């Protein structure tokens, strides 16, 4: 257990719904309702789910953009869930984030060298202009960008290159965990592959660099992650090693999700039965009782609407939250 870079236990995040002139709290949106997982050093954990399942909220809680309502986050042996902003300086350097939208994640008024070098300046990691330039150049090369472009502005880059800039910036503080929040969703297929390979290569090069890879794309997650967690409505419903999860999918939601994903191969598709899940995601404002998935689950039984299932280990680290497994 000691080589876990981050340990999340029973993480809860409720967003209050405020109404009226006095902004009184009338309800809670339970974005995360008791999430637990670990990420080992040098490992990639993939987090999949549909929009609104809370996967982005997980990432933002880990990096403490949000303050968790409850639960614990132990990063490198220190509890950070309830730490004050002024005590989080080291976390800000040791953890970094890559955002989904390559257009809004880079300040249009700064040139690319300034953008990539922001963490160096914030954490005073360089002592001179020369050192700054050298470090930034190194980061450019590492992310597959030409250092000749250092004085260009973000709008002169394409989407894929902007995402490389984002990655270069994330690497600047020499972090041990990078949270990738849908880093490839906004990109074209061939650019997606480039970014996936870049992320993998960086992990090979840097001993102990871990990722939390958040995406709705099952295939990309399967490709880059060692372990995968499937989320539904603020809960992790299934978590297992990537290969195990895709070959022995246990939770009905994961099965539906996998079946919904068309595979880019007509010969596989030909013999594949498409299980279409009915209905839409319920609102997290008023989640269903018991197992939150029971309203759409094809196998739902009486117990499912009464009692919430626990995430339990069914062997080889394959955890699943379902009464029927």
Partner 1 sequence: MSRLLTVEGLTTEFKTERGIVRAVNNISYTVDSGEIVGVVGESGCGKSVSQMSIMGLIPSPPGKVVAGTAIFGNTDLLKLKKESKEMCEIRGNRISMIFQEPMTSLNPALTVNKQMSEMLLEHKSISKKEARERVIDMLRQVGIPDPESRADDYPHQMSGGMRQRVMVGMAMICDPALIIADEATTALDATIQAQLLEMMNNLVREHHTAMVMVTHNLGIVARYADRINVMYAGSIIESGTVKEIWANPLHPYTESLIHCVPQLGQKVEAIPGMPPSLINRPPTCPFLPRCKYRQKCCFEDPVQELTLVEGTHSTMCALRSGGAKNEQ
Partner 2 sequence: MNDTSSIMAVDVDGQLREFRVLDEELLPPVNEFKRFWRVFFKRKVVLICFVVVLLFVFAAFFAKWVAPYDPNEADYYSVMTQPSSTHLLGTDTLGRDLLSRIIYGTQIALEVGLITVIISAAIGTVIGLVAGYATGAVQAIIMRITDAIMAIPSLILQLLISQVVGHGTFGVVVAISLTLFPGYIRLICGQVQSVKQNDYVQAERCMGASRSRIMFKHILPNCVSPLIVQMTMMMGVAILSEASLSFLGLGITPPTPAWGSMCYDGYQYLMTNPLLSIAPGLAIMLLVLSFNMVGDGLRDALDPRLRGSLN
List of residues contacting partner 2 (CB under 8 A): 23, 63, 65, 88-89, 91-93, 95-97, 99-101, 104-109, 118-119, 122-123, 141-146, 148-149, 152-153, 155-158, 161, 166, 169, 173, 194, 197-198, 201
Nearer to partner 2, 198 or 297 (CB): 198
CA–CA separation, 238 and 240 (whole Å): 7
Residue 142 binding partner per list partner 2, partner 1, none, with a CB distance cut-off of 5 to 8 Å that depends on partner kind: partner 2
Residue 32's beta-bridge partner residues? Answer: 13
Which helix H or strand E contains 309, and what residues bound it?
Answer: none
Ordered DSSP codes for 181-246: ESTTTTS-HHHHHHHHHHHHHHHHHSTT-EEEEEES-HHHHHHH-SEEEEEETTEEEEEEEHHHHH
Tell me how far, at minimum, the Cβ of 296 lies from partner 1, in Å: 8
286 is a contact residue toward partner 1 (CB under 8 A): no
CA–CA separation, 206 and 289 (whole Å): 45
Residue 261 binding partner per list partner 2, partner 1, none, with a CB distance cut-off of 5 to 8 Å that depends on partner kind: partner 1
Residue 206 binding partner per list partner 2, partner 1, none, with a CB distance cut-off of 5 to 8 Å that depends on partner kind: none
R_g (Cα) of the chain, nearest Å: 21
Interactions with partner 1, residue window 69-108 (CB under 8 A): none
222 is a contact residue toward partner 1 (CB under 8 A): yes
Tell me how far, at minimum, the Cβ of 320 lies from partner 2, in Å: 32
218 with 257: CB under 8 angstroms? Answer: yes
Residue 122 binding partner per list partner 2, partner 1, none, with a CB distance cut-off of 5 to 8 Å that depends on partner kind: partner 2
């Amino acid at each position: 257990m000691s080589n876990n870079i981050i340990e999340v236990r029973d993480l809860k995040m409720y967003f209050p719904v405020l109404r009226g002139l006095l902004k009184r709290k009338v309800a809670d949106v339970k974005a995360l309702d008791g999430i637990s997982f670990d990420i080992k050093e040098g490992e990639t954990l993939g987090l999949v789910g549909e929009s609104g399942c809370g996967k982005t909220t997980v990432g933002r809680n880990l990096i403490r953009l949000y303050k968790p309502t409850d639960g614990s986050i132990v990063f490198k042996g220190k509890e950070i869930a309830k730490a004050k902003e002024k005590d989080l300086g080291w976390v800000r350097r040791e953890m970094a984030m890559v955002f989904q939208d390559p257009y809004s994640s880079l300040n249009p008024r700064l040139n690319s060298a300034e953008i990539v070098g922001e963490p160096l300046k914030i954490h005073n990691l360089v002592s001179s202009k020369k050192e700054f330039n050298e470090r930034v150049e190194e980061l450019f090369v590492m992310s597959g960008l030409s250092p000749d472009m250092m004085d260009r502005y973000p709008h002169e880059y394409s989407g894929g290159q902007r995402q490389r800039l984002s990655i270069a910036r994330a690497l600047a503080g020499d972090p041990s965990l990078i949270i990738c929040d849908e880093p490839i969703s906004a990109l074209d297929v061939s650019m997606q592959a480039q970014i996936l390979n870049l992320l993998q290569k960086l992990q090979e090069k840097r001993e102990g660099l871990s990722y939390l890879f958040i995406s709705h794309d099952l295939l990309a997650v399967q490709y880059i992650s060692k372990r995968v967690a499937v989320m539904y409505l603020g809960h992790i419903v299934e978590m297992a090693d990537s290969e195990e999860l895709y070959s022995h999918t246990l939770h009905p939601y994961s099965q539906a999700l996998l079946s919904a994903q068309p595979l880019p191969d007509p010969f596989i598709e030909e013999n594949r039965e498409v299980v279409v899940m009915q209905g839409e995601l319920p609102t997290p404002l008023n989640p269903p009782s018991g197992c939150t998935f029971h309203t759409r689950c094809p196998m739902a039984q009486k117990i499912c609407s009464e009692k919430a299932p626990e995430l339990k280990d069914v062997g080889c680290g394959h955890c699943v939250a379902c009464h029927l497994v």
